[in-house]
Structure 1
């Protein structure tokens, strides 16, 4: 709540005089970093956003790796957890307590912490939201252009929104490789999120769309290197299933 309280100020320009913990220690330093990076790159705020986006993603990369490994560990235990749920299917209190005990014993046996995947997310979300605020609330950005678009207004040709949607789909597809059939809700989000991103990007300044595109491309490369063997296995499974049909 302390970090996200600054979300109510999304339409207020960020300056050195902006008050509050969120503005002073999260948003303004990131805004200053974008501005100084753009100045270093010859006053090109488009390149500044790209460079700082990559820098931020590299900074939180260890957290993302930890989160991905935790997710893979939990996924590997799903068959055994399903057996426990079937074994203790009764809804009475004693049976459910026994299920919890057996589940925790399973986690301890394999050295898995079910909360380990949450902590990296809690740490990185304020950074990413703060960066989003820094881009949208830094007035200098809106006064510049990059490639074919003005950073302060929506892409008139809808190219960035479409790329943002496509890269979101690819990135999510890679992250959920091999799990779509296990979780229908996640499979649904595979289509809903890209559509939402396209709608937002059509209406938001192009600077934010540029941030989404660069961030997604980074995540695609990152996911490829972290989950490479899993992606090849999932692709082989899909091909085998298609061949049988």
Structure 2
């Protein structure tokens, strides 16, 4: 969800309203944004200028490429959750804030990580790797002028969905994705504060993204819906949360 905040910042400081072309300058444009725009255009032309279908195809391809990173992130998160009780025991054992006690806590915490094969940074690295690609896709959609001239299904790609179907779907699948992720997060049971924060985010983020989708071009909402549906299916296949009793 941090991605949404980062995209909002970049949309203001990276000239998201500037069309992307082969002549666009800068590393961000030439390495990330223009190649994705080029792929979207060429796939659309192959399918008789169906830019909506092209956005769906490119989104799925990107998610497939990023899937190994997502799997690694989910497995790392699960490993961290499994050792949470032992981490809490260490924190209680070394609750004193003096330097010597904190040094012992750090030492035994690292030993616990090594013993269980847990890398606390492994869950964060995939996020930072994915960020540029997903944000570049956002820019490619917003800055490819050809997209604005075509329609897909019931909506114009360059205008907001007139029937609000895409914003509703965006919110619904964002909620489902977060709900499924929460169902596998066993650490929330032992951390009431985290549980409250996650519950708040469970409802706030779908509403926020749904509101964004009301005003953004339908092409971007289509990208969000496709990506969220893919992530819901991915979480179901990897974690099978509905088959696990928590």
User: TM-score when scaled to structure 2?
Assistant: 0.90
Q: Which moved more, 1:115-124 or 1:44-53?
A: 115-124
1:187 shift after superposition: 2.2
1:178 shift after superposition: 4.3
1:232 shift after superposition: 2.1
Q: Distance in 1 between matches of 2:82 and 2:172?
A: 29
Gaps of 5+ in 2: 1-8
The aligned residue for residue 243 of structure 2 is 232
The aligned residue for residue 28 of structure 1 is 34
What per-residue deviation string (whole Å, max 9, x for no partner) do you get for residues 185-210 of structure 1?
12221111101101100010000000
Contact 1:169 1:191 in 2 (8 A): yes
1:5 shift after superposition: 6.9
1:216 shift after superposition: 0.5
Q: Distance in 2 between matches of 1:93 and 1:202?
A: 52
Q: Distance in 2 between matches of 1:105 and 1:176?
A: 28
Alpha-carbon spacing, 1:5–1:213, altered in 2? closer, same or farther (3 Å): closer
Tell me: higher relative CO, structure 1 or 2? Use CA pairs within 8 A at least 6 residues apart.
2
Q: Distance in 1 between matches of 2:91 and 2:242?
A: 28
Q: Which moved more, 1:86-95 or 1:127-136?
A: 86-95
Structure 1 moving runs of 4+ over 6 Å: none
The aligned residue for residue 4 of structure 2 is none
1:73 maps to 2:76: no
Contact 1:165 1:194 in 2 (8 A): yes
1:157 shift after superposition: 1.1
Equivalent pairs, count: 231
Gaps of 5+ in 1: 238-245
1:214 maps to 2:226: yes
Q: Aligned ranges for residues 158-177 of structure 1 at < 5 Å?
A: 158-177=164-183
SS at match of 1:100: helix
2:118 pairs with one of 95, 112, 119: 112
Q: Which moved more, 1:34-43 or 1:90-99?
A: 90-99
What per-residue deviation string (whole Å, max 9, x for no partner) do you get for residues 214-238 of structure 1?
000000111111101x4422xx44x
RMSD: 1.5
Q: Aligned ranges for residues 51-90 of structure 1 at < 5 Å?
A: 51-90=57-96
Q: Distance in 1 between matches of 2:145 and 2:77?
A: 39
1:122 shift after superposition: 1.1
1:91 shift after superposition: 1.5
Q: Distance in 1 between matches of 2:124 and 2:104?
A: 25
Q: Aligned ranges for residues 71-220 of structure 1 at < 5 Å?
A: 71-179=77-185, 180-181=188-189, 182=191, 183=194, 184-220=196-232
Q: Distance in 2 between matches of 1:121 and 1:17?
A: 30
1:74 shift after superposition: 0.5
Q: Which moved more, 1:87-96 or 1:205-214?
A: 87-96
What per-residue deviation string (whole Å, max 9, x for no partner) do you get for residues 121-176 of structure 1?
11111000000100011000011111111000111111100100000000111112
Contact 1:5 1:22 in 2 (8 A): no
Q: Distance in 2 between matches of 1:178 and 1:29?
A: 36
